[in-house]
Amino acid sequence: MSDRREQRLEEGKSKKDQRLDDLRQILATAYGRRYMDGLLEFHCVFLSIPGTNNSERDKRLGMREAGLRIMSEIAEARPDLLKLKLSE
């Protein structure tokens, strides 16, 4: 009976709420936090984007934009983790 209740609650949530709940589950583990840190580093979120080659710069700016979107979802899901990450 509780499975059916949980299913109805899940169906009532928006896709964004479901995504944020999933992200909270990922961030609740050390493995998940490490993975997300690597993802943000890969996307050059914490680096400046110098360069004279326009196509390489544009590619890195696009990667950074994707990383900033991920970071904003982390901030929405677990604001305490983002503050901790930025203070390190």
Structural domain count, the chain: 1
5 within a domain of the structure (yes/no)? no
63 and 39 in contact (C-beta within 8 Å)?
no
Closest CA to 65 of 81, 49, 88: 49
pLDDT along the chain (88 residues), means of 10: 68 82 92 91 86 86 93 91 68
71 lies in some domain: yes
Q: Is residue 52 packed enough to be buried (19+ CB in 10 Å), middle (13-18) or exposed (0-12)?
A: exposed
Is 29 among the domain residues?
yes
Determine the structural domain holding residue 66 and report its residue range: 13-87
Within a domain: 4: no
